[in-house]
């Protein structure tokens, strides 16, 4: 017989613990040093020499390790989307587009023509969709998104080579429609505010456009802006 010792230790993000005891071991019942990588993210190293101390080790695990078992944090950032259910997909709700006024966008008065503001809002919308990993008009798409309402209020003019920002936000998502709000600013000054509503319709050759629910593969990528300065 050989007199040896039992050494048990474990480490985790919570604590470090080590204990030692005496044990009698025989060559026929020797249990070699082992390392267990548990699913609880605890590292245990031990040397056992008899069935008696194996039972003690099991009791040790039950008493000391189980209460400290590590659990993955739960996902709490859920979003309610137009699909009518909660999910954990990363969603997009707003986008800021920065650009300059081109010469062809100005009129004889030297300011941006009012119709260009609708194009600015649409450019920001397309960038919003690209940020979500989507295209509003991909090839061979089975659905389309025509504009059903749009408006603007003009507060100050823009001129050639002015640099400005278009901040577009998703203000509302329903089963078949998405409504945006947009704010055009220059150097922090509000230039114009507007809104636009798009509807989801089917696209079939030889058939009229018909409203249809927004596919979940699209709706689940968007969410309503929580703090909307345009409202």
What's the number of domains the chain is made of?
2
39 with 130, same domain? no
Secondary structure string (H, E, C) spanning 154-183: ECCCCECCCEEEEEEEEEEECCCEEEEEEE
Picking from 26, 43, 68, the residue at the C-terminal end of a domain is: 68
| 63 and 90 share one domain | no
Residue 108 lies in a domain: yes
Domain containing 149: what range? Answer: 79-219
Distances (CA, A) of 106 to 55, 122, 124, 170: 86, 18, 20, 29
pLDDT digits (tens, 9 = 90+) for 54-90: 677 667 666 555 443 323 232 233 444 444 555 456 7
107 belongs to the catalytic site: yes
> Closest by alpha carbon to 121, among 157, 94, 139, 143?
94
Which residue of the set 107, 162, 187, 220 is catalytic? 107
- Mean pLDDT calculated for residue range 107-112: 96
Is the predicted pLDDT of residue 16 greater than 50, yes or no?
no
Mean pLDDT for all residues in the chain = 76
Mean pLDDT along residues 90-107: 95
**Most distant pair of Cα atoms in the chain: their distance:** 106
CB under 8 A, 24+ apart: contacts of 142-145: 142/202, 142/203, 142/204, 143/200, 143/201, 143/202, 143/203, 143/212, 143/214, 143/215, 144/200, 144/201, 144/202, 144/203, 144/209, 145/178, 145/198, 145/199, 145/200, 145/201
Contact criterion met (CB below 8 Å) for 131 and 92? yes
Residues 143 and 64 in one domain: no
- Give pTM, 2 decimals: 0.61
pLDDT confidence tier of residue 131, bands split at 50, 70 and 90: very high
């Amino acid at each position: 017989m050989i007199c040896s010792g039992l050494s048990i230790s474990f480490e985790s993000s919570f604590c470090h613990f080590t204990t030692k005891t005496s044990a009698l071991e025989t060559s026929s019942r020797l249990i070699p040093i082992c390392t267990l990588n548990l699913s609880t993210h605890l590292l245990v190293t031990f040397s056992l020499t008899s069935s008696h101390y194996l039972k003690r080790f099991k009791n040790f695990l039950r008493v000391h390790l189980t209460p400290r078992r590590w659990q993955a944090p739960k996902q709490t950032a859920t979003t309610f989307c137009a699909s009518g259910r909660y999910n954990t997909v990363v969603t997009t709700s707003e986008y800021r587009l920065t650009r300059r006024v081109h010469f062809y966008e100005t009129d004889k008065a030297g300011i941006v023509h009012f119709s260009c503001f609708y194009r600015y809002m649409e450019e920001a919308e397309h960038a919003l969709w690209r940020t979500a990993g989507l295209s509003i008009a991909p090839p061979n798409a089975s659905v389309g998104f025509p504009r059903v309402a749009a408006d603007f209020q003009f507060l100050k003019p823009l001129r050639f080579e002015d640099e400005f920002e278009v901040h577009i936000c998703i203000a509302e998502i329903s089963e078949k429609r998405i409504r945006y709000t947009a704010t055009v600013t220059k150097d922090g000054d509000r230039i114009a505010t507007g809104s636009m509503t798009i509807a989801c319709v089917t696209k079939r050759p030889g058939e009229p456009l018909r409203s249809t629910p927004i596919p979940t593969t699209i709706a689940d990528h968007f969410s309503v802006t929580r703090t909307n300065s345009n409202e």
